[in-house]
Chains A and B, each alone.
Chain A
Amino acid sequence: MGFHYELRFAGVGGQGSLTAGTILAHAAVFHTNYYATQVPTYTSQVRGGAAKADIIISDTPIVFAESTNVDFFLATHQKAYNAYKGDLKSSADVLVDSGLVTVPAEDKNLYKIYEYPLVKVAKYEIGNVVTMNILAVGICVGLTHVLDVNAVRETVKEEVPQRFLDMNMKAFDMGLEIGEKFKKEG
C-alpha cells in the first residue's frame, strides 16, 4: 500500500470538527490529487452532542471509508475524547484542548499526546472562538505534514466565510507554527 493516512476530528456539535475535516479532505482532493473521504458521525442534538469526522487520505481509491486505524486524533471535548479514542493506532498523534480534556495517565503511554489551550487562544489571542477549528487544522498540518501546507492554506481561504477570513488565516498560520514546534520537541 502506498500513502494512506487516517484522521479523526472529534468534539461536540457546534465546535467545527466536521468543517475542519472537510477542509483537509478538500485540500487532499482539489489541491493534492489524492483520494479522500470524510464521514461525519453526530447525534440528533444540533449543539452539545458528541460529533466526529473521520478523514481518510490515500493515493488509491478508498473502498470502505470507516476509520479503524487512526493516525491523528483531535479531541476538543472530554465527551468526544472518551467516545472516540477507540480506533487509535498505537503511538498515534493526539491533540487535545488542555482546558477541556483531561487525558488519563495510561493513555499518555499509549499515544503521543499534545496538549494546547485551543479554545482559550482562539478566543483571547486570535479574537474569536470560532477560529478554534482552523487553529487545530494548522497544528495538525504543522505537526504531521500529512498534506502540503500551501494546499491546506488555499483550501482554508476557499472554505471559511469571507468575513472571518483574516482571523482564520491568522489562526491557521499560528497553528502551523505551534505544530512545527511540537514536531521539533517530539
Chain B
Amino acid sequence: MTNYALEAEGLHTFYGKSHILHGVSLKVEEGKITTLLGRNGAGKSTTLRSLVGLTPAREGKVTIFGQDTTRRPPFAIAGLGVGFVPEGRKIFPNLTIEENLKVPADRPGYWTIDTVYELFPRLKERRNNKGRQLSGGEQEMLSIARALLLNPKLLILDEPSQGLAPLIVREVFNIVVRMRDQGMSVLLVEQNVRMSLEVADHAYVLNDGEIAFDGSATDLSEDEDRLQSLAGVSAEVWEI
C-alpha cells in the first residue's frame, strides 16, 4: 500500500472573484519526487499557495501526513514538517544570511544552522551579507536552507530554477535529489520541464487550473505531443 505525504482533492481556489483552480487533485507519494508542470498562468503557484495555506481553497480538501489542513494557517502547516521554497526565493533583503536563517521556527532534527552551512559553504562565507546583496544562486540556496531548518518531511519548491545559470540549476536539482534519497517527500513546480522529468518519479501537468496529465515522469517524457504543447509560451526554457 502506497503512503502519501500529501493528498489534495478537488481544490477550487479564487483570487477575489477570479476562479483560478477548477478542481485540482494531486498526491505526493512519500519519499518520492512529484513534479507539477504547466505553462505560465496555468495555476501552479496558486496550487502551491493553497497547499501551504497562503490562499486556502474555497472547496476541496488538503490532507498532509493524514491531517486535514485545508483551513489551517500557513504556520500550522509548516509546523507539521512542510518546508516551502517560494517562487522568487523571498529572501528577507534587510536581514543578513545568518539572520535570515534565524527566522524559521525550530523543529528539532538533523538540520541546524551549522549543518545547512555544511551543505552550502558559500552561505557560511557570506553569512554577514544582507539578503539584498546576494546573487540569484545564493538567494536560492538561502531559500532552500531556510526551508530545511524546519526539518521538513515534505519539501515544496516553486520554480527553484527560475533565473539561474545552468550550472547552478544543476546544483539545485542535485540537492533536491539528495533530499529525496534521504527520505524526504518532494513536490517540485517547474518551468524547466526536461530537468524536472529527469529527477521526478511522478508528474502532473496543469492547464488552465485543471490537471491535464497524471502519470509517471517516464511516461510524460516519452509523450512528444504533450511535451510540445507544454512548451508553449515558455519555449525559452525548453531544452530538448
Do A and B belong to a common assembly? no
